[in-house]
Amino acid sequence: MTDTQAQPGFEFALTRPHLLRSLEHIWWLPLLRGVASIAFGILAFSWPGLTLLTLTLLWGAYALADGVLALGAAISARDGETGVRWWLALAGIVSCLAGVMTFFWPGMTTLVLLMFIAGWAIIIGVLQIWGAIKLCEELKGAWLLAVNGLLSIAFGVVMFAQPGAGALALVWVIGWFAVFAGCLYIALAFQWKKYDRPA
């Protein structure tokens, strides 16, 4: 006679979705995204004599790195349900395209750069909230992803609302957004890491 109640850990392992089990083992990817975001933020508001071209290329490198890491998370979580992890892949593609476009169009005007960053932030924020909703029942730290999404959307709205301020005048806003977003990514990574243990 089997006693299923005597093995709660085993029962938990059977009920966890495949996606969550995949995410547990790639907790270091949001950690890297957080580190990259914080590094970008620190560079943005500590670089002496920062020019629009430098800011554009710096942000492009950040967006490209963030996109590659998001795609890496989506590919590494291939055992999960496609309907649940598509937002990771889409967020990665959006960030990669945004990063590549800045390198091919480095001479964009201040207004175009601001609108570009704002649009990217809102799209990424919506995708993060969607992902948080999909994970909220299985992952306690999913609220961190939702907060990151709300922060990203708020940042995008602020950028759209202040187009006349100029990108360089909003460097501190851009930098602090990146730092806060990076901290949330790191917190999320350690939430995932808590589940990275044998079933």
pLDDT at site 110 = 74
Between residues 149 and 8, which one has the greater pLDDT? 149
Encode pLDDT of 75-109 as tens digits: 876 555 555 577 788 889 999 999 998 888 877 77
Between residues 180 and 76, which one has the greater pLDDT? 180
Name the token pair of 132: 């948080």
pLDDT at site 136 = 76
The long-range contacts involving 138-143, CB below 8 angstroms and separated by at least 24 positions, are 138/16, 138/17, 138/19, 138/20, 139/20, 139/23, 139/191, 139/192, 139/195, 140/191, 141/187, 141/188, 141/191, 141/192, 141/194
Identify the weakest region by mean pLDDT among 10-24, 31-45, 54-68, 175-189.
10-24
Which range among 46-55, 108-117, 139-148, 170-179 has the greatest average pLDDT? 170-179
pLDDT at site 188 = 85
pLDDT at site 77 = 64
Q: How far apart are CA 91 and CA 55, in angstroms?
A: 22
